Structure 1
Amino acid sequence: MTEPAVSAAIDYDELKTGKRREGTYTGVFGFIVRLSLVLAAITLTTVQLLTGFESGAETQSPSALFGLTLLISLVPVLGGLCALITFKFFPINYKNFCEQQEKLKVLHEKRLIELEKIQ
């Protein structure tokens, strides 16, 4: 769902600014993805350290099992809630997305005509 949302945001930005900035959005998106990977690793390591997880052990302590349970249940739920909140306030819905696409089509046709005049 994130790629279509980013694409819609790029189109929205073009209508507002008159500039097409896919590179900027792709760079920021890539940075956020990498940052989320770092945060996931930090969260995993922190929970395992705090709960006494022992790598390679035949059995784990109850606190380590609780930590693993948190990592596979609570952490994804919190991530999902963050996504739901983000998309709840996302300003583009299906109706204005379709309107936006029509406006972009007109804008791109005008730009094409201007380019043809130059050549």
Structure 2
Amino acid sequence: MHSFVSKAFVERVHAPTVSVPAVEVRVANGERMTCNSMVQGLNWWIQGHTFTTDMRQLELGAYDGVLGMDWLEQFSPMSCHWLDKTLTFEHHGAMITLQGVRPKQHERVEEIE
């Protein structure tokens, strides 16, 4: 339901946090964590677009942030093309497309006889 920013990222950029009522979060590996602080109005940038999002602080390991349903709903409706790994929606009056990471294409090696 919520968007999250990693504690390590918050410390790295010296973002101010505020206390919020604790919520228990179940992460992808099934572990449960407690979140009781957030960064209000975090400005972040992706593919030439800047967004401002309230993000709860959580230990995220290798990720700087995770967008939740709160962010997705803010820009609804969206068009998601799972195969191409794109997300298209309106932002500041213009349609934008964010491109996810695509797997590398394997080169075909021809059999030598």
With structure 1 as the length reference, what TM-score do the two structures score? 0.21
With structure 2 as the length reference, what TM-score do the two structures score? 0.21
Query: Which structure: greater strand fraction?
Result: 2
Q: Whose radius of gyration is greater, 1 or 2?
A: 1
Query: Which structure: greater helix fraction?
Result: 1
